[in-house]
Amino acid sequence: MVAVGEVAVAAALSHEVLKSQHYKHSQVTEACAANAKCPLKVFVRRLHSNVSLWWTFGGGTKLFIKTGLVVKPSVSLLPPSSLQLSDGTASLLCLLSAYSPQGALPSWTVDGAEVNEGVLTSTEEQKDGIYSRSSTLTLSKERWEEAEVFGCTVSHHDTTQVALFRKSRCEVH
């Protein structure tokens, strides 16, 4: 998050760039350079000064203009049903609800290792400025049976929340 005057701008840049908070003129992300796509330039002017800055973001970058309070998502993790397990697959559902502004990103872990295969994440739905989305992790019955802890990690602006399901205890926390 970078604040300029009374305008706050957040962009999905690389982790290193976001952490450093040092933006250079015509900053180009690695994805833009690799794909040779035209970057997006954003001009931000301070409201009560003659200082102005240019930032350049790579193709595919999402830009969020924060105008209100940040409300972190409510995160719920639901395990697979016994009916689904009898059919040979296991799907866990991570529900993100009642957050603002948009930009909540769920990710999955199985026994502490990040998982990308079998993940389906919905687009963000918005009603009256409040957002929600869901993410489903589908595993084979064998993978489900050999694993113990399943996690949904949600990143939203400056916060991270983790919901875990421990199979042996049949509990979510």
Can you tell me the mean pLDDT for 137-147? 96
Long-range pairs, 76-81, Cβ under 8 A, ≥24:
76/163, 76/172, 77/150, 77/151, 77/152, 77/163, 77/164, 77/165, 77/172, 78/172, 79/150, 79/165, 79/167, 79/170, 79/172, 80/144
Can you tell me the mean pLDDT for 22-35? 41
- According to CATH, the superfamily of the domain at 74-172 is Immunoglobulins (2.60.40.10)
Reported as a single tens digit per residue, the pLDDT across 97-106 is 999 999 999 9
pLDDT at 8 > cutoff 90: no
Residues whose CB falls within 8 Å of the CB of residue 24, separated by 6 or more in sequence, listed in order = none
Confidence of residue 41 (pLDDT cuts 50, 70, 90): low
Q: Where are the domains positioned within the chain? A: 2-66, 74-172
Amino acid identity, residue 6? E
pTM exceeding the 0.85 threshold for the entire prediction: no
